[in-house]
């Protein structure tokens, strides 16, 4: 795929994001991921059925409907079973995650990396601040103490705000894409154009003064940015959103009848800290030293196994938790 046009680069610089159509081939890049996750869901259904947690494996249902049915019947969302990252705390030797070959190939898709290269240069590191998000329709989700859906609408934040201070100078790029079309009713991203120009804003823990659906979560207070300028970014399958690390954004609730299924990735230049030292990144592209690129999906999976073992050992030894986010400092603007 050719580099971004001057107009697209200007839009990114001015607005803090750019939507690029048709970056990923739906058949070649995305269908293998969907097929791979179907096998993950098979294993989850088998395990839950064996435990007596569900009354059927629901094999006749398509992925989204099957996942919804399992979530409804168990009252849990099982997101960790599918994620290609680990929790920050309480990791055990058998904590589930998924770092499969189709997922690896999506993270290293040449067309995707061509656009990343346009924005951060040719030495590209896959930053381990990454997640898959499979959001069932909000009406099926369990609720928190504030009556809001768990894994529902995402509160206002900047991606810079969820990494440690060592990455303050890192040129971290967010890449978001959906495995399916994501119209408004499915809960796409919402961004505040130009908000990256205000720098890093306070992320207030247990904040209550924004919209009610965000109550109690750590978030950027709406009084600090032009929330009324927020716009939705509905996308089609194969499109990708590229976002500056200080762009204020969130997501709408999924009020459709289907799951909303997306990848949330980060990339940065290879010589810069990731802000998540305990988790493994890798060189995704290097024009200077192609031999340094990780090309083996099995090795990527092994790196995550090693990280899980180390974190599980720390839990057993009772050591201080590894830092994964910025130190929460009291800020007068959070009052």
CB 150 within 8 A of CB 142: yes
Closest CA to 197 of 268, 247, 266: 247
How many CB atoms within 10 Å of residue 329? 9
Max Cα distance, the chain (Å): 57
Q: Looking at residue 7, what is its pLDDT?
A: 97
Taking only the tens place, the pLDDT of each residue in 282-327 is 999 999 999 999 999 999 999 999 999 999 987 666 555 677 777 7
Interatomic CA distance for residues 290 and 141, integer angstroms:
45
Q: Is 288 helix (H, G, I), strand (E, B) or coil?
A: coil
- Per-residue pLDDT for 219 more than 90? no
Q: Looking at residue 147, what is its pLDDT?
A: 67
Phi and psi of 295, rounded to 5°?
Answer: -125, 0
> Is the pLDDT higher at 222 or at 14?
14
How many helices (H) does the chain have, and how many strands (E)? 6, 9
Share above pLDDT 90 across residues of the chain, in percent, rounded to a whole number: 78
Closest CA to 37 of 2, 64, 75: 64
Task: Choose the weakest-confidence range: 4-13, 25-34, 96-105, 136-145.
Answer: 136-145
Q: Which of the listed ranges 1-5, 141-145, 231-235 does the model predict with the highest average pLDDT?
A: 231-235
CB 238 within 8 A of CB 30: yes
Helices (H), the chain: 6-15, 31-51, 63-74, 101-107, 110-120, 297-317
User: In the chain, what is the straight-line distance between the N-terminal and C-terminal CA atoms, in Å?
Assistant: 47
Phi and psi of 113, rounded to 5°?
Answer: -70, -25
- Per-residue pLDDT for 1 more than 60? no
- Per-residue pLDDT for 145 more than 90? no
Domains and CATH numbers, the chain: 6-34+87-319 (2.60.120.620)
For residue 254, what are its two tokens? 């999924």
CB 144 within 8 A of CB 289: no
- Per-residue pLDDT for 144 more than 80? no
């Amino acid at each position: 795929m050719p580099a971004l046009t001057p107009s697209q680069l200007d839009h990114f610089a001015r607005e803090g994001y750019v939507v690029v159509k048709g970056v990923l081939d739906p058949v070649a890049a995305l269908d293998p991921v969907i097929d791979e996750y179907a096998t993950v869901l098979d294993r989850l259904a088998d395990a839950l059925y064996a435990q007596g947690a569900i009354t059927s494996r629901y094999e006749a249902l398509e992925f989204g409907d099957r996942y919804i049915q399992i979530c409804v019947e168990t009252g849990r969302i099982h997101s960790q079973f599918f994620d290609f990252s680990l929790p920050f705390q309480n990791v055990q030797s058998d904590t589930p995650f998924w770092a499969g070959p189709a997922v690896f190939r999506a993270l290293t898709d040449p067309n995707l990396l061509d656009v990343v290269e346009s924005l951060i240069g040719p030495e590209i590191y896959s930053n381990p601040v990454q997640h898959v998000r499979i959001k069932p329709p909000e009406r099926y989700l369990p609720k928190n103490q504030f009556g809001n859906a768990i894994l529902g609408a995402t509160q206002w934040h900047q991606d810079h705000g969820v990494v440690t201070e060592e990455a303050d100078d890192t040129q971290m790029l967010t890449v978001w894409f959906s495995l399916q079309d994501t119209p408004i009713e499915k809960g796409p991203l919402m961004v505040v154009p130009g908000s990256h120009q205000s720098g890093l804003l306070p992320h207030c823990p247990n904040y209550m003064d924004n919209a009610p659906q965000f109550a109690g979560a750590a978030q950027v207070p709406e009084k600090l940015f032009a929330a009324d300028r927020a716009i939705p970014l509905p996308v089609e399958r194969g499109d990708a959103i590229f976002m500056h690390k200080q762009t204020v954004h969130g997501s709408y609730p999924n009020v459709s009848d289907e799951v909303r299924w997306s990848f949330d990735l980060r990339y940065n230049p290879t010589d810069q800290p990731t802000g998540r030292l305990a988790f493994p990144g890798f060189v995704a592209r290097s024009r200077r030293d192609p031999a340094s690129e990780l090309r083996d999906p099995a090795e990527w999976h092994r790196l995550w196994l090693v990280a899980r073992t180390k974190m599980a050992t720390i839990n057993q030894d009772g050591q201080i938790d590894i830092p994964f986010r910025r130190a929460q400092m009291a800020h007068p603007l959070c009052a």
